[in-house]
Structures are given as C-alpha cells and as structure tokens.
Amino acid sequence: WCVAVWEALYGQRPHRGETLGALCTAVLDGAIEAPSRRDIPRFVEIALRRGLSVSPEARFPSMEALLRAIEDDPRV
C-alpha cells in the first residue's frame, strides 16, 4: 500500500532498480529514493517511509495506525 501511495503522490517508485535483482537489493537495503516533489507534507513522507521499513517491527502495527499517522497533521 505504501509503495502505491508513494508512487501516486511522488510520481516515482520508492526504490530504484534497473533489474529485478537491483530492485530487490534496494528494497532489502531499505534504500528509498528521495521524493521528487516537495509539496507533500513531511509527516506523510515519514509515515510512508515507516510503512516501507524492511523490519516488520519498525512498521505500523496496523493499517488503522498507518492511516491515522497520515491523517493526523501535527501542525493542526
């Protein structure tokens, strides 16, 4: 879900790889490309990065928790 939302918001995939092997390596290394757009709130990027974490323990405990993090603008 986080990969799809990242691509929808930023117009690029979070991980780069010219081949399937390179893509797998980037995913497993946690190598996330810097977003091309800067008009998306930082807290959304942080939540998506957490959702893309290689370690299951580092991700959100549930989809509801992830959605709350994306919805809850700390500036409001």
| Structure confidence by residue, pLDDT tens digits, 39-73 | 899 999 999 999 999 999 999 999 999 999 999 88
- DSSP E strand stretches across 1-76: none
- Could you give the CA distance from residue 53 to residue 72 in angstroms, rounded to a whole number? 20
- Could you give the CA distance from residue 74 to residue 11 in angstroms, rounded to a whole number? 25
Q: Report pLDDT digits (tens) over 20-35.
A: 998 888 888 888 988 8
pTM, rounded to two decimals: 0.83
Structure tokens at 25: 């390596």
